[in-house]
A and B are shown apart, each in its own frame.
Chain A
Amino acid sequence: MQDSGSEHTLSTEALDLPARQTRLQEFWAQLRKNRLALIGLVIFVLFFIVAVTGMVLTTGTSPQLDSSLVRLQEKLRPPLSRPNLKSLQADEVPVLGIYLLGTDELGRDVFARMLQGAWVSLTVGFVAVGIAVLIGIILGGLSGYYGHSPVRVAQVFIAVLVVLVVTNWSRLSFKTLAVLISITVALAVFLLFSRKKEFGGPLFLLNTQLFSVDMLITGLIDIMLCFPSFFLILTVVALLPASIYNIMIVIGLTSWMGAARFVRAEFLSLREQDFVTAARALGVSDWRIIFRHMVPNAIAPVLVSATIGIAGAILTEAGLSFLGFGVPPPHATWGNILSDGKNYLFDAPWLTIIPGVAILVVVLSFNLFGEGLRDILNPKLRERH
């Protein structure tokens, strides 16, 4: 830049400014003003610590706290009751010397089970929602930003061929594979060079535009939404081996539609915003516009729905565990503690109250933090606090 005028020469002090706040400092300053969000964050951090220590304490060959140790003689003891040392063997005495949260109908220590369940809830919630949000942002973003772009016949062929090759990789003979792959490559090359040209005959057919990207993705969203998702999850989980990872993935793969719709809607409106055109007019690349300009503007509703989604995922996992499709039995989750406890609702109310309250508090903290995040990420909403 040329120096435009001598009268504007800057003093050195003018440049010795207080260091610019980093994004994190600024975020923290905003968070401190927002009490509820801060409370949400604190509970969330506590939950995280509890879940991680719980995971450490309850796993391994000889865990500190054994969540699956059955002491039938000590069943249904209320919280804070002392163990009957006479009837217990030395290695059956709880580590704390007390049943902090009571015992269940098999005399298992509810405190240990809750700790173990916290880790399951945390991972299920986060991994499932992480998968859902990632798919949602990618598909919603594509549909919103590149929605007008047409999908051509050749592209559909390529997709079908790729799926064919990948799914039948081991079954097909080398010859067929080679033919399929070379056709795919030929089509891809054709696509690369056919953008601006006109073709006659069969090549023209390949270049025909079938439908738009947007139609494809919104169609997929609608199809996914048609299934009653809980039964879809039940079916898939029944077919797959019972494992906590399968449950996370399945919950994630069946709950991305909301996020995708949010992102698509936001992108549709953002794409027409003047600041996007302005950024393009100043030479900013598409990629940078999407991720640096549009995603931060679109992320707020997604984050809020994600926090609620975490709660939903925890509940879905609980429901699956209740129906016997969830995490296999000896492993404790908040869901199966809760559903086991409902048979003893009047004799041992703590068995339902404790996991119930835990789920409530965690879900509430996610929601509070999510709302706070939304306000912080959107500077226009900040002035309210």
Chain B
Amino acid sequence: MTPDPLLIVKDLKVYFDTDQGMAKAVDGVSFRVGQGETVCLVGESGCGKTVSALSILGLLPQPPAQIAGGKVFFKGRDLLELEQKDLREVRGREISMVFQEPMTSLNPVFTIGHQIEEVITTHEGVDQIESRQRIIRLLNDVGIASPEERMQDYPHNLSGGQRQRVMIAMALACSPELIIADEPTTALDVTIQAQILNLFKELQEDRGMAILQITHDLSVVAGVADRIYVMYAGIMVEEGSVWQIFREPCHPYTMGLLESLPGRRAKGQDLATIPGAVPDPANKPPGCPFHPRCRYVQESCRVQFPEMCDFSDRHLARCPIMYAKRKVQSA
């Protein structure tokens, strides 16, 4: 673990003003990403992963969104306090982002070469020849064959996997120190997923940048992450290393997630699920937001918001009940 993390998100709160009331999409989330680390934010749809990521770069439309509190330190600067102009300097140059849908994340009316070039020229005054060379090298680096020809293609000429590679090339164009990848493999099929994940790994080894992966796919997490943060209903419920989370999950939600993976049950049995659904962010249950779906639920869970409990070496989970149980077991 590097002593001085690149990105520190502290108690971030993002609310949406809706007709049903204030939707607390992200309600006090903290995490940190060290230099050259791969950190995964995991959670099911609607738990606030993407909103947290977008608000790091100030990309949420305000209103309806509002940053209700918290700090986002990137190399010591609070990104939430920056002016739009300074924030634009950070975007793409120091932190860049890869999106979920490669099909729609590229502008259909420009060639991909043009779009990569735009990122380069936005941030650096480079002449055309140099930027061309860089584009070709970038496309080469992300594994696109014959980049000279491909850079004149329009997005619709490329397959989904190729487009995602182009998106990664765009994100890499100015050698950022942090790449936020918002479910970069969700829209791709499994073989392409593996290729893209390997590409991220190789690029990370080459360039030493940090990656914040956002995903709901635990198999992705297991392969790439150094550290995992599990989110539920806008809060962080568990954090730890891959080993800690997969070997001894401490929060009932994480346990449920892991049990839901196909392959953990004998053939012929139904797949395990967590009963119920994610609570409506405008109308969360009191106490622990997970308690209506939790099998270890106790009276105190319904009233008292749980604290983060330190289970072992930097392995935290927001469940005092389990904490007490483990204590008893180990004693």
Contact = CB atoms under 8 A, between A and B. Distances in A.
Contacts of A10: 133, 136-137, 140
B88 A4 contact: no
A379 B152 CA distance: 12
Pick from A1, A277, A280, A284 the residue with the most CB of B within 10 Å. A1
Pick from B63, B100, B119, B148 the residue with the most CB of A within 10 Å. B148
A285 B207 CA distance: 27
B99 interface: yes
Pick from A17, A273, A280, A377 the residue with the most CB of B within 10 Å. A280
Given A10-B136, A148-B63, A282 B107 contact: no
B133 A380 contact: no
A209 to B, nearest CB: 10
Contact of A4 (B90, B104, B152, B207): B207
A275 B61 contact: no
Interface stretch (B167-175, B237-245, B287-295, B318-326): B167-175
Contact of B137 (A1, A278, A293): A1
B109 A278 contact: no
B109 A283 contact: no
Interface in B112-162: 113, 118-119, 122-123, 132-134, 136-138, 140-141, 148, 152, 154, 156
Interface string A279-318: 1111111001000110011000000000000000000000
Interface residues of A, number: 34
Contact of A285 (B59, B88, B140, B141): B88
A14 B107 contact: no
B124 to A, nearest CB: 9
A275 B98 CA distance: 11
A91 interface: no
A384 interface: no
Contact of A283 (B110, B122, B207): B122
Contacts of B54: 277
Contact of B91 (A4, A148, A283, A380): A283
B89 A274 contact: no
A20 B54 CA distance: 35
B99 A274 contact: yes
B154 A379 contact: yes
Contact of B96 (A3, A273, A282, A377): A282
Given A4-B206, A148-B63, A274-B101, A380 B137 contact: no
Interface string B66-83: 000000000000000000
A343 B123 CA distance: 68
B109 A379 contact: yes
Contacts of A5: 141, 206
Contacts of B96: 281-283
B97 interface: yes
A15 interface: yes
A48 B291 CA distance: 75
A265 B104 CA distance: 18
A198 to B, nearest CB: 14
B99 A4 contact: no
A281 B97 contact: yes
Given A2-B207, A274-B104, A283-B90, 20 more contacts: A1-B173, A4-B206, A15-B133, A17-B148, A148-B61, A148-B63, A274-B105, A275-B104, A275-B105, A275-B108, A278-B97, A278-B105, A278-B167, A281-B57, A282-B97, A282-B119, A282-B170, A283-B119, A377-B109, A379-B108
14 contacts: A1-B173, A2-B175, A2-B207, A14-B136, A17-B148, A21-B152, A148-B61, A274-B104, A275-B104, A275-B108, A282-B173, A284-B118, A292-B118, A379-B108
